[in-house]
Chains A and B, each alone.
Chain A
Amino acid sequence: MSVQSPISSVNDFVVRFANVNGSGSASANELFARSILRHGVPVSPRNIFPSNIQGLPTWYEVRVTEAGHLGARGGVDLMVAMNPQTWDKDVASIEPGGYLFYDSTKPMPTSKFRSDITVIGVPLTAITNSTYTDPRQRQLFKNIIYLGALCALLDLDPKLVEQLIGEQYKGKEKLLSSNVHALHLGRDWALQNLKCPIGLQVKKSDKVGERIFIEGNSAAALGAVYGGATVCAWYPITPSSSVAEAFTSHCKKLRHDPATGKAKYAIVQGEDELASIGIVIGASWNGARAFTATSGPGISLMTEFIGLSYFAEIPAVIMNIQRAGPSTGMPTRTQQCDIIACAYASHGDTKHVLLFPEDPAEAFEFAAQSFDLAERLQTMIFLMLDLDIGMNHRLCRPLKWDDARQYDRGKVMTAEMLDEPGRDFGRYLDVDGDGIPYRTYPGTHPTKGSFFTRGTSRDRYARYSEEGAIYADNMQRLVRKFETAQDMVPRPLQANAAKPTKYGVIYFGSTSPAMDEAIGLLESRGHQLDRMRIRAFPFHSSVASFIADHDFVYVVEQNRDGQLRQLIVNENDIDPVRLVPILHYDGTPITARFIANAIGDHQDHLKVTPLRKAVS
């Protein structure tokens, strides 16, 4: 028997569902997460799924967190083990004192269980088979039945769950009532046969507030709608496809001309990424706001065009939802591994603007802003999400829009401007000294302002020229433009530790919630760290000062080679020794535990080892 006492916790635990891909469990599992939200208790769910359509294991994890920690925690308190294939691994992942929920229709040998956990058997197949005859119904309702049983075990209010089911099946009365019926089948069985509730419990709270629950990809797509994107060209690739799919559905609702019913947007599924980015570049050249969404392999294909966008100075937006590379890598696992590939994409001397949103709310804001930046700077903007933000629902502040906001269309000369006396139009003239030239849209003026766009070197009047001095002049102006960008992109956010400290930490993007939590864990171990969240490349000058102000700075990222660290070192001429890499790259989202352990161990180590000379 167990010597370990069962875990007892209210509103702070992790439930993981182990299912088989294609079993229809996703909506039941999501319903579970949403139900807890309706109790006013924050949740942080994560999909862990294979790059396969049917038959392979899939997990859905719900972190119930009254404290509002939105990063992954690591470990499982309650495992809902519905997949025999992964049984051993699933059972092994339960925290000591945790719970195992399984389908007890067929008896299992005791060797299949652990002695330090509580085992909860519900004869799901038996209950389902005695109620339904249709195989598909049996499959789908089994998921709702286990949801019902969990309601009883965790003490969820069935009314709130029913309300959600009601919203989901609004207008489809038959489906609604059959789902509610299945929910009660599971709940009643558990109440009659098991000791409910278990040590893990959900109690109503008020910690969710105004926050919304949305996937990063959907939020970014909505940002594109609000930001005025009218052309979207894309090619399917996980985890980015849902950006284009969401853009399509948002546009269908929000972007039809009420008088004619016609579309104020054009969406093309390209034949590949080469075509997608080509369409984006063609549309942007012609004055529309255009974007594509892709992931690593797509970026690889697009690089020739990305170079053209940089050199010919054509605005464009790429939303890169990063996944684990290189090559096909782990297509359904998360990483932040395209930093270098995007920052310097294409041949020759190129540099691109990258934006790193931390959550869906920022994905929305940055997506909208990326079109202003692209047009203002006449260059490619990369919105760098990753699977962890892109394909998971996250709680975040409500999306906001200022109705007074106008789009920044950048330096575009109109026919009237071209006609101004004394006005000289040269496509690549640096009139304002900020490196950004003026452009004209095709068709603007019968005799003035037309120019030839090309990837080949040209002079300030866009006339083909391969003279060295002219080429160098142009390349220098592009550097100036990139410097201008530094003050236009979102600035890094800084927060100081409670007590003065010599150490800092830099992080970015989806690492944010885990970092917020890790800071607390580190403080409890006595480690104080100032922190800086980088939100864009080119780096603002405060990045270099932050590093200069500390003995050394940890750089936390989700890739093997410390790509952001490399970029900081490279761009700011910083001694690499001053930046300590903290790297997590197994494809799972980084956790607070991981960060706190990695930094904590390093800090502890410092106390016994004298600082190296170089670290000064």
Chain B
Amino acid sequence: MTYIAKPKFQHPGLPKNDLGYTHRDYEGKVSTLCAGCGHDSITASIIEACYELSIEPHRVAKISGIGCSSKTPDYFLGNSHGFNSVHGRMPSVLTGANLANRDLIYLGVSGDGDSASIGFGQFAHSIRRAVNMTYIVENNGVYGLTKGQFSATADRGSKSKKGVMNTDNAIDLVAIALQLGASFVARSFSGDKSQLVPLIAAAIRHRGAAFIDVISPCIAFNNHAGSTKSFDYVREHNDAVNRLDVLTGRDPITVEYAPGTVQVVEQHDGTRLALRKIDADYDANDRLAAMTFLQKHAAKGQVVTGLLYVDPDAEDLHAHLDTVETPLNTLEAKDLCPGSAALEKINASLR
């Protein structure tokens, strides 16, 4: 068989969340990615975030393109529907799915090859349309599945495993997302679970286009000296702007108090984002400042991580289209079909 299912056994003593689900309920099939791949750590963070938010697993639709990263939805939320579409075109499929049923949670998972090259247009347009989703790019700077070609997020001057120098400029998806009006923009690192988990949780809670770029080293093709997406490089160059916890309307799930000021951002669903600033004057509600901040640090070779921007009053595509609250996929003939009498009138107007 070409798949590996997880054994069904669950230890009765596993901790449960508010809905009575255990971690196992948020897991999927056994990963077939390379042992140590950054993508698997992101999978673990997604599982953790969904567990902590007490999401009903089957209310999530997880959609991806093609690539190692895009395979990962098979490895989490085994009880939800997944869709591994075509290379780079996850955003349109997700947009359609979202239009059909506004009541589910949409998790888009993509790679840097998937989103910054073949799917660059779809990435951009789904963001500017404000589709209500959590769009995660598992960014390793290479094409993992096709074995190590540079992707469009590879930094200029970085080296491939074979020693080839990349001479093209890199696309910074975070900068683009900010420019296109994403209402939640963050960057993180697959190895930094304590930062990534609350970011994912906050993105899921956000109503609008939430984008998270996660640097995720490819240990097979991009974890060597000369790569700017390797574990060591990112650890050395990481500058976190804030630490984030998600507080729901009820009990806070985790609250870690760390030094520095705490900024609480109220979201429309009642969730509050607690931003723990490292940089005392970082304001995560200022798009323009975020763009400048990002560029300044990029020029210094620093990878800024954390929640860079959030718009607490964001609206989504359904608001823009002014669609009914009832999911479109539940409407029936009686709701949709104008009937023969209306058709008679139309006929009469065409004579």
| Chain B residues, Cβ within 8 Å of A317 | none
A115 to B63, CA, bound (A): 72
The answer on a CB contact under 8 Å between B58 and A445 is: yes
A255 to B335, CA, bound (A): 8
The answer on a CB contact under 8 Å between A442 and B1 is: no
Interface residue ranges of B1-48 to A (CB < 8 Å): 1-3, 5
| Chain B residues, Cβ within 8 Å of A444 | 58
The answer on a CB contact under 8 Å between A266 and B321 is: yes
The answer on a CB contact under 8 Å between B338 and A443 is: no
Question: What's the least CB distance linking B116 to chain A, in Å?
Answer: 16
The answer on a CB contact under 8 Å between B85 and A281 is: yes
Q: Is B79 an interface residue (CB 8 A)?
A: yes
Question: What's the least CB distance linking A310 to chain B, in Å?
Answer: 12
Task: Determine, out of B88-96, B187-195, B245-253, B279-287, the stretch whose residues face the partner at the interface.
Answer: B88-96
- The A contact surface, by secondary structure, is loop
Closest A residue to B28 using CB positions: A452
A308 to B66, CA, bound (A): 12
| Chain B residues, Cβ within 8 Å of A277 | 92
Selected from B56, B335, B339, the residue in CB contact (under 8 A) with A403 is B339
Q: Beyond A222-B346, A226-B338, is A406–B3 a contact (Cβ under 8 Å)?
A: no
Q: Beyond A447-B79, A463-B1, is A281–B95 a contact (Cβ under 8 Å)?
A: no
The answer on a CB contact under 8 Å between B58 and A278 is: no
Closest B residue to A441 using CB positions: B329
Q: Is B161 an interface residue (CB 8 A)?
A: no
A406 to B57, CA, bound (A): 32
Closest A residue to B336 using CB positions: A228
Q: Mark B301-326, 1 if CB is under 8 A from A, else 0.
A: 00000000000000001100111110
Q: Beyond A278-B122, A288-B329, A443-B59, is A254–B3 a contact (Cβ under 8 Å)?
A: no
Interface-centre pick from A231, A233, A445, A465 (highest chain B CB count, 10 A):
A231
Task: Determine, out of A6-14, A56-64, A267-275, A499-507, the stretch whose residues face the partner at the interface.
Answer: A267-275
Selected from B78, B122, B331, B340, the residue in CB contact (under 8 A) with A230 is B331
| Chain A residues, Cβ within 8 Å of B317 | 266
Closest A residue to B121 using CB positions: A271
The answer on a CB contact under 8 Å between A286 and B350 is: no
The answer on a CB contact under 8 Å between B63 and A282 is: yes
Question: What's the least CB distance linking B159 to chain A, in Å?
Answer: 32
Task: Determine, out of A188-196, A393-401, A472-480, A514-522, the stretch whose residues face the partner at the interface.
Answer: A393-401
| Chain B residues, Cβ within 8 Å of A442 | 58, 61, 80-81, 97, 101, 104
Interface residue ranges of A283-331 to B (CB < 8 Å): 283-288, 290, 304-305, 308
Question: What's the least CB distance linking B114 to chain A, in Å?
Answer: 13
The answer on a CB contact under 8 Å between A268 and B2 is: no
The answer on a CB contact under 8 Å between A263 and B350 is: no
A456 to B64, CA, bound (A): 13
Q: Is B74 an interface residue (CB 8 A)?
A: yes
The answer on a CB contact under 8 Å between A286 and B336 is: no
The answer on a CB contact under 8 Å between A257 and B324 is: yes
Question: What's the least CB distance linking B148 to chain A, in Å?
Answer: 21
Interface-centre pick from A260, A272, A287, A304 (highest chain B CB count, 10 A):
A287
The answer on a CB contact under 8 Å between A274 and B89 is: yes
Q: Mark B95-134, 1 if CB is under 8 A from A, else 0.
A: 1111111011000000000000000011011000100000
Selected from B5, B80, B85, B343, the residue in CB contact (under 8 A) with A400 is B343
Q: Mark B267-294, 1 if CB is under 8 A from A, else 0.
A: 0000000000000000000000000000
Q: Beyond A228-B333, A279-B95, is A450–B340 a contact (Cβ under 8 Å)?
A: no
Q: Beyond A260-B324, A405-B333, A450-B58, is A456–B84 a contact (Cβ under 8 Å)?
A: yes
A407 to B78, CA, bound (A): 31
Q: Is A451 an interface residue (CB 8 A)?
A: yes
Closest B residue to A260 using CB positions: B324
| Chain A residues, Cβ within 8 Å of B83 | 282, 285, 452-454
The answer on a CB contact under 8 Å between B122 and A443 is: no
Q: Is B351 an interface residue (CB 8 A)?
A: yes
Selected from B329, B330, B343, the residue in CB contact (under 8 A) with A399 is B343
Interface-centre pick from A284, A443, A445 (highest chain B CB count, 10 A):
A443
Q: Is A28 an interface residue (CB 8 A)?
A: no
Q: Beyond A231-B99, A465-B1, is A455–B337 a contact (Cβ under 8 Å)?
A: no
Q: Mark A224-243, 1 if CB is under 8 A from B, else 0.
A: 01101011010000000000
The answer on a CB contact under 8 Å between B100 and A287 is: yes
Question: What's the least CB distance linking A360 to chain B, in Å?
Answer: 9
Q: Is B82 an interface residue (CB 8 A)?
A: yes
A213 to B101, CA, bound (A): 37
Q: Beyond A442-B104, A443-B81, A446-B57, is A263–B322 a contact (Cβ under 8 Å)?
A: yes
| Chain B residues, Cβ within 8 Å of A261 | 322
A212 to B329, CA, bound (A): 33
Question: What's the least CB distance linking A255 to chain B, in Å?
Answer: 7
Closest B residue to A442 using CB positions: B81
Q: Is A214 an interface residue (CB 8 A)?
A: yes
Q: Is B220 an interface residue (CB 8 A)?
A: no
Q: Beyond A212-B350, A453-B84, is A281–B329 a contact (Cβ under 8 Å)?
A: no
Q: Is A344 an interface residue (CB 8 A)?
A: no
The answer on a CB contact under 8 Å between A265 and B2 is: no
The answer on a CB contact under 8 Å between B2 and A467 is: yes
A464 to B73, CA, bound (A): 13
The answer on a CB contact under 8 Å between B61 and A443 is: yes
Q: Is B347 an interface residue (CB 8 A)?
A: yes
The answer on a CB contact under 8 Å between B331 and A284 is: no
Question: What's the least CB distance linking B123 to chain A, in Å?
Answer: 11
Selected from B80, B104, B340, the residue in CB contact (under 8 A) with A401 is B340
The answer on a CB contact under 8 Å between B324 and A263 is: yes
Q: Is B332 an interface residue (CB 8 A)?
A: yes
The answer on a CB contact under 8 Å between B328 and A308 is: no
The answer on a CB contact under 8 Å between B328 and A265 is: yes
Q: Is B342 an interface residue (CB 8 A)?
A: yes
| Chain A residues, Cβ within 8 Å of B329 | 230, 283, 286-288, 441
The answer on a CB contact under 8 Å between A278 and B340 is: no
Q: Beyond A264-B331, A450-B78, A465-B2, is A278–B337 a contact (Cβ under 8 Å)?
A: no
The answer on a CB contact under 8 Å between B92 and A452 is: no
Q: Is B164 an interface residue (CB 8 A)?
A: no
| Chain A residues, Cβ within 8 Å of B323 | 262-266
The answer on a CB contact under 8 Å between B99 and A454 is: no
Q: Beyond A271-B121, A282-B97, A467-B2, is A450–B80 a contact (Cβ under 8 Å)?
A: yes
Closest B residue to A465 using CB positions: B2
Question: What's the least CB distance linking B320 to chain A, in Å?
Answer: 10
The answer on a CB contact under 8 Å between B58 and A443 is: yes
The answer on a CB contact under 8 Å between A275 and B121 is: yes
Q: Is A88 an interface residue (CB 8 A)?
A: no
Q: Is B86 an interface residue (CB 8 A)?
A: yes
Question: What's the least CB distance linking B143 to chain A, in Å?
Answer: 17
Closest A residue to B330 using CB positions: A287
The answer on a CB contact under 8 Å between B125 and A275 is: yes
Q: Beyond A270-B92, A281-B96, is A287–B346 a contact (Cβ under 8 Å)?
A: no
A281 to B89, CA, bound (A): 11
Q: Is A280 an interface residue (CB 8 A)?
A: yes
Q: Is A586 an interface residue (CB 8 A)?
A: no
| Chain B residues, Cβ within 8 Å of A276 | 92
| Chain B residues, Cβ within 8 Å of A264 | 323-324, 328, 331, 335-336
Selected from A228, A286, A304, the residue in CB contact (under 8 A) with B86 is A304
Closest B residue to A452 using CB positions: B82
A266 to B59, CA, bound (A): 21
The answer on a CB contact under 8 Å between B58 and A286 is: no
Closest 5 CB pairs of A and B: A282-B96, A278-B92, A288-B100, A442-B81, A287-B329
14 A-B pairs besides A278-B96, A399-B343, A447-B79 with CB distance below 8 A are A226-B343, A228-B331, A271-B125, A272-B121, A282-B83, A282-B85, A283-B97, A283-B328, A286-B96, A290-B100, A403-B340, A406-B333, A454-B84, A464-B3
A-B contact pairs, 23 of them (CB 8 A): A212-B347, A233-B96, A262-B322, A275-B121, A278-B96, A283-B96, A286-B96, A290-B96, A305-B86, A399-B346, A407-B332, A441-B329, A442-B97, A442-B101, A443-B103, A443-B104, A444-B58, A450-B58, A450-B82, A452-B73, A452-B74, A452-B81, A463-B3
